[in-house]
Amino acid sequence: MTAIEQYLIDTYRACERGTPLPPPPGRDDVAALRAARSYEQCQAVLEGHPANHPWRAGVRRLLSRPGRREG
């Protein structure tokens, strides 16, 4: 079952029961990404690192982990 199909079923049930409608799929995706970015920036500041480009820093940390096998 796809997310759209599940959403339609949940919407139907909500209408039948008189409860609030569920949020449509994908509505909060951007907010979730922003929250993740803010969390990474906060963690960087708490660790004493600059808060610029948190995703680049995260990728750099993953790629330079000790014990990582080189291809």
pTM, to two decimals: 0.46
d(CA 48, CA 24): 39
**In this structure, what token pair is assigned to residue 14?**
């909500």
Q: Are 22 and 10 in contact (CB under 8 A)?
A: yes
Backbone dihedral region for residue 12 (phi beyond 0: left; psi -120 to 50: alpha; all else: beta): alpha
| 14-69: pLDDT as tens digits | 999 999 999 888 888 888 888 888 888 888 888 888 777 656 767 777 788 766 55
Domain borders along the chain are: 3-63
Residue 39 vs residues 7, 28, 46, 55, 64: alpha-carbon distances, Å: 29, 16, 11, 11, 21
